[in-house]
Chains A and B, each alone.
Chain A
């Protein structure tokens, strides 16, 4: 097993061979990937060294100290957090080699074509069709349908896509998982403006999009099971981030409090102390989850972390607007823009307040996460349902 000391040595070798000050950022990132220092827990040859995940922090700290460029994770969150772990687990050797390196370096942005107008929380009801054309080496799929709420689709080179390949079986069984080329002429991306004013997400129309069979991930009909890996990773990615004390939203709030004694009231003080405590409990919960993952005993705290994150983000951002008083009435800019980053903490308090409303909807709504915890963790029975064993084409939608 690769130790922390060994990683420090390898990092020093990378830095010696590629002086960050004299190397193009992209070239440096590629070299870092090839040295196995991108995500050390990935296998050798795929950006990693098969080392414990927790040791990534050792590498990151060394590189940050040396002023090395990073891959701007906020720009490629869907690739890093969701596409990569799914491709690693279910992709062929060829798919892993083709996709993971440019995904990690940020050369290729990814998006997620899951949700549809008629299939949100009930994702398995999705109606986008993929029909097989031909056999043999040129075999492929023709895809038609509409996706919605697709973050970063306007920037993406690739998408992870769920489509129905068999309408005659119950809905969870007839879905397959594909990698979709966003430059295909049948892909039409249209901005959807959000309540913040900007268009971080899009609607995506798929018309006769051709996907080679080599870009299918996993077996035909296995899409739902594979999607669980994506969704579980999404929740850990959103809620399980490692932060220092007072990292993120609570840090912004605490600093505002310290700098502006004239804004302080007793009622706000109580809520600030409560929010600070909640943020610290959530940080420790995430830290505990990380430690559990590091020693290979993953717990159900992933869904919990996402649920708690959403609740806290909304509590803190609402409080911040109130604390700011007159300044809380301001809003920077309503002009419709298409952001390059998904950044929950950026811009002003009003933006944060509004953007945080999405935290309890994206990546599985808080209601759905509570259902998951109640059923899969606590073992409480599911609600009675009418769609389980009916072929998808006959089910009520």
Chain B
């Protein structure tokens, strides 16, 4: 096991400041709240700014391809800030999931980079958002010998207006990952729990596809993309939890009842101290996962399972505590905390639930489940 770097470098802190400043300006919570009920829940203008002014939508893409030549560690820092702002941009789908597949596709994806890096186009991985890394390869779409794709995929996140879709499909020679133009697919919006990361259903009726990754690699590449997504989602969950804690602490330091500041009641102080403690753990776990993914460590699968399991649960608890400790105002539509609650709960299901990630440790850490015959029940 190589030494993990669990801290933030100066470059990473600079990157964080730049992203945070932009988000404070362009998507304060009230603006997100207004946008999420409007015609364009995801903010394509903000996406373009993130691409063109900060260059953060293709951080881990090599410079030769038009990216920033950074690593997944920096990508994780951006996700922390996007989580903190509950920002409605397709970063997870495009800059993480789809980008991982496109990088693995090498030359075959070369033509896609200019538009993606410029933020003119986004890409999405066409799997249900709830797909866990260890899930079987999805076979709901078939590809014929000419590359025409037919089938359906439900609950896909971060699908761009008319962008690029990466569709796992069952081809004539076996499973493959295909590039499909969004314009060739029927996209139906569905109501989604998380207002800031809307989901759609896709129907493909002979949509023209281009094979990016063939049967020999398709399963491994899809696994890598989902693992990377689950590992970096932990950083988004960390940022989200940090916002919930900070916002709640600030409120409890102001709000008075019974003639004192509510935050001086020990029952609440202890709950927040415990939450802070779990967030400190989330920070270490999320950093570990990002570092292991960035360096291609053989230990990445274990650290991703640990981070996804811990951070997914912490983010939900942080958001639930935030609602509860805001009292009545926390229950209103007007206060943005519900955006975070919905994002946290949806994130908990995204790319594998905490329980599913823990279950994968049964294999990864050799902690086998009970086996053998079931106990005998003599009285039945």
Contact = CB atoms under 8 A, between A and B. Distances in A.
Q: A interface, by DSSP: helix, strand, loop or mixed?
A: helix
For A270, A284, A285, which residue has the most chain B Cβ atoms within 10 angstroms? A284
Interface string B338-380: 0000000000000000010011011001111111100000000
A307 B361 CA distance: 25
A285 B280 CA distance: 7
B276 A371 contact: no
Contacts of A254: 365, 367
B284 interface: yes
A1 to B, nearest CB: 19
Interface string A350-385: 000000000000000001011101110111111110
Interface in B141-158: none
Given A273-B361, A383-B266, A378 B276 contact: yes
A64 interface: no
> Looking at B1, B272, B280, B368, which has the most chain A CB atoms within 10 Å of its CB?
B280
A362 to B, nearest CB: 18
A380 B365 contact: no
A280 B288 CA distance: 11
A386 interface: no
Contact of B281 (A258, A273, A308): A308
A3 interface: no
A233 B223 CA distance: 44
A280 B370 contact: no
Nearest to B259: A384
B284 A287 contact: yes
Interface in B1-49: 1, 4-7
B274 interface: yes
B249 interface: yes
Contacts of A295: 7
Given A264-B369, A373-B276, A380 B284 contact: no
B206 to A, nearest CB: 45
Interface in B248-273: 249, 252-253, 260-261, 263-264, 266, 268-270, 272-273
A282 interface: yes
A383 B369 contact: no
Nearest to B288: A284
B73 interface: no
Given A258-B366, A258-B367, A384-B264, A284 B270 contact: no
Given A281-B306, A285-B280, A292 B288 contact: no
A384 B358 contact: no
A281 B369 contact: no
Interface in B271-290: 272-274, 276-277, 280-285, 287-288
Interface string B42-65: 000000000000000000000000
A288 B273 contact: no
A371 B266 contact: yes
A134 B45 CA distance: 80
A269 interface: yes
A287 B6 contact: yes
A264 B284 CA distance: 31
Interface in A211-265: 245, 254, 257-258, 261, 264-265
Contacts of B273: 307, 369-371, 373-374, 377-378
A304 B280 contact: yes
A3 to B, nearest CB: 16
A254 B281 CA distance: 21
Nearest to B249: A378
A380 B252 contact: yes
B266 to A, nearest CB: 6
Contacts of B197: none
A162 interface: no
B121 interface: no
B306 A304 contact: no
B309 interface: yes
B84 interface: no
B210 interface: no
Given A301-B280, A378-B273, A261 B253 contact: no
A273 B269 contact: no
B269 A291 contact: no
Contact of B249 (A277, A307, A379): A379
Contact of A264 (B7, B260, B306, B370): B370
A343 to B, nearest CB: 25
A378 B361 contact: no
Contacts of A397: none
A281 B284 CA distance: 7
Contacts of A274: 358
A249 to B, nearest CB: 15
B281 A284 contact: yes
Contact of B264 (A245, A282, A381): A381
B270 A370 contact: yes
Contacts of A292: 7
Contacts of A287: 4, 6, 284
Contacts of B282: 281
A280 B311 CA distance: 13
Contacts of B355: 270
Nearest to A244: B1
A272 B367 contact: yes
B287 A288 contact: yes
Given A277-B310, A378-B273, A378-B276, A266 B367 contact: no
Contact of B283 (A269, A288, A382, A383): A288
B131 to A, nearest CB: 21
A28 interface: no
Interface string A306-332: 011000000000000000000000000
Instruction: Name the 10 nearest CB pairs between A and B, nearest first.
Output: A374-B269, A264-B370, A370-B273, A284-B284, A373-B273, A381-B264, A288-B6, A281-B281, A273-B358, A285-B284
15 contacts: A257-B367, A261-B372, A276-B361, A280-B306, A281-B306, A284-B4, A284-B284, A284-B285, A291-B5, A371-B269, A371-B270, A375-B269, A378-B273, A382-B264, A383-B266
Given A276-B361, A291-B5, A307-B273, 4 more contacts: A245-B1, A281-B310, A304-B277, A381-B264
